[in-house]
Amino acid sequence: MILLCSVAVCLTAATNAADLSGQWRAEFASPRGVQKYLFTFQTEGEKLTGKAVAEVGERKREAELREGTVKGDTLSFVELLDFQGSEMRIRYTGKISQKEIAFTREVGDFGKTEFKATRGAAAANSGTAPAPAAGAGSQPRRSGGGFGGPIALNPDDKPAFDDPPSGIDKSREGIPHGKLEMIEYESKTVGTTRKMQVYTPPGYSKDKKYPVLYLLHGIGGDETEWQRFAHPEILLDNLLADGKAVPMIIVMPNGRAQKVDRASAGMAAAGAFATFERDLLDDVIPAIQSRYSTLTNRENRALAGLSMGGGQTLNFGLGHLDTFAWVGGFSSAPNTKRPAELVPDPAAAAKQLKLLWISCGNKDGLIRISQGMHVYLKEKQVPHVWHVDGNGHDATHWRNNLWLFSQRLFK
Ligand code: FER
């Protein structure tokens, strides 16, 4: 049921939770453009239910509100957003005053936006509605970001390589196979025992030493996520059988560095994805180097990842060129720091990097992140691969780029 607001109802909103029922609208600037929201709330005691209809440009979506509560003058709820197959949680907290609700909208720890909602139907339906409050404090903290957006392609945005043949990660008979194992390590950073998967190539022997690729997952994944999109272990077996890659160890850790690190703990645990920098450097790498027969100089250490893990890769890889000489960001997400922050000394980076790989699909709404990197790197003359293929934010892009990237490592 939709209740339209009368002045009397609006005025009691501050003191009586039930009176939140009805429609509230808001308009605010976000990295994706101006967002227009129409919330419809129903309350029952401290419980709040309802829906959100959001419009950005031409696009409109509707979501049921979850986990809604009203306590005193504070309400909170979650909007679940399907982001290209991954579920993102947008958390809203609002302070109710007489005429408005002052909301904070958080996507994980990213993109905290503040805006005000006022009573009434959508602006389009209501000629007399006051202008939405989108003043100070309504600007998102980040520049660039959001869940995809309009795609504008530039002349450089084309494939650097042909697409791989099909079947690159299908298991073949009659070739040697490596081993994939799940191991545990003590994380001082997180204060827990954590899991990671480790691939050792066929014929792995303590008598040899191997280079290592650290391979990071996306926002909805964990240490097993790469197996959903590609089978890095089979892909490497195949490349090795064809003489196309150097035998290497591949480590797939969990990039969500928090005590409860399952994907279900919340997709947008952005702070935990940033904390992983320390877990990777101080806990994961030492654990691998103590348990496996590894080459431990920077020229024998690579970092790559998809989406959220692509952003982590660029942040941690370019941020620690003393540790990584090979860096690959596939469809990097808005957690990627700004190019000038990542590469403050282009000449030094150009000298140290053996390979910097930036890739994105030309149907991926996050492409502007990678485009920004490419434009900066090109301007600053930092050699890199800029590979834009015909995919979206999807498994084909990640599988193909792992294949193209991994066969160029450690050579
Ligand atoms: C975002 C959109 C997407 C974001 C992260 C992602 C940090 C990650 C997507 C993925 O890993 O697939 O705004 O912000």
Report the mean per-residue pLDDT for the chain.
Answer: 87
Which of ligand 1's atoms lies nearest the C-alpha of 218?
A: 11
Cβ atoms of 98 and 11 within 8 Å: the answer is: yes
Mutate to test the pocket of ligand 1, among 30, 105, 143, 147 (most ligand atoms within 8 A of CB): 147
Q: How far is the CA of 255 from the centre of ligand 1 (A)?
A: 13
Binding-site residues, ligand 1, Cβ < 6 A: 83, 86, 107, 110, 145-147, 218-219, 270, 307-308, 333-335
Q: How far is the CA of 334 from the centre of ligand 1 (A)?
A: 6
* β-pair partners for 250: 199, 213
User: What are 243-267's pLDDT values in tens digits?
Assistant: 999 999 999 999 999 999 988 776 5
How far apart CA 330 and CA 322 sit, in angstroms, is 22
| Range(s) of the chain covered by CATH 2.40.128.120 | 10-146
| Range(s) of the chain covered by CATH 3.40.50.1820 | 179-406
Which residue type occupies 48? L
How far apart CA 334 and CA 270 sit, in angstroms, is 10
Predicted local confidence at residue 10, as pLDDT: 40
Cβ atoms of 78 and 89 within 8 Å: the answer is: yes
Predicted local confidence at residue 210, as pLDDT: 99
Which one is the CATH code of 179-406: 3.30.413.10, 3.40.50.1820, 3.30.70.890, 3.40.50.150?
A: 3.40.50.1820
Secondary-structure class of domain 10-146 per CATH: mainly beta
How far apart CA 286 and CA 304 sit, in angstroms, is 18
The answer to whether the Cα torsion of 369, 79, 86, 224 is positive or negative is: positive
Give the count of alpha carbons within 13 A of 320, CB side only: 17
Q: How far is the CA of 218 from the centre of ligand 1 (A)?
A: 8
pLDDT band at 31 (very low <50, low <70, confident <90, very high): low
Between 88 and 22, name the one with better pLDDT.
22
User: What are 36-72's pLDDT values in tens digits?
Assistant: 899 999 998 899 999 998 887 667 788 889 999 999 8
Q: How far is the CA of 307 from the centre of ligand 1 (A)?
A: 7
pLDDT band at 380 (very low <50, low <70, confident <90, very high): very high
Mutate to test the pocket of ligand 1, among 79, 307, 367 (most ligand atoms within 8 A of CB): 307
Q: Is the pLDDT at 168 greater than 70, yes or no?
A: yes
User: What are 175-223's pLDDT values in tens digits?
Assistant: 999 999 999 999 999 999 999 999 999 999 999 999 999 999 999 899 9
How far apart CA 370 and CA 361 sit, in angstroms, is 10
Residue entry with tokens 């945005």: 157
Which of 32-41, 227-236, 268-277, 393-402 is least confident? 32-41
Between 192 and 14, name the one with better pLDDT.
192
Q: How far is the CA of 80 from the centre of ligand 1 (A)?
A: 14
Which residue type occupies 242? D
Which of 50-59, 319-328, 397-406 is least confident? 50-59
pLDDT band at 89 (very low <50, low <70, confident <90, very high): confident
Task: Count the neighbouring beta carbons within 10 Å of the beta carbon of residue 164.
Answer: 17
Q: Is the pLDDT at 143 greater than 50, yes or no?
A: no
Which of ligand 1's atoms lies nearest the C-alpha of 306?
A: 11
Q: Is the pLDDT at 82 greater than 80, yes or no?
A: no
- Structure tokens of 314? 């660029």
Which of ligand 1's atoms lies nearest the C-alpha of 31?
A: 13
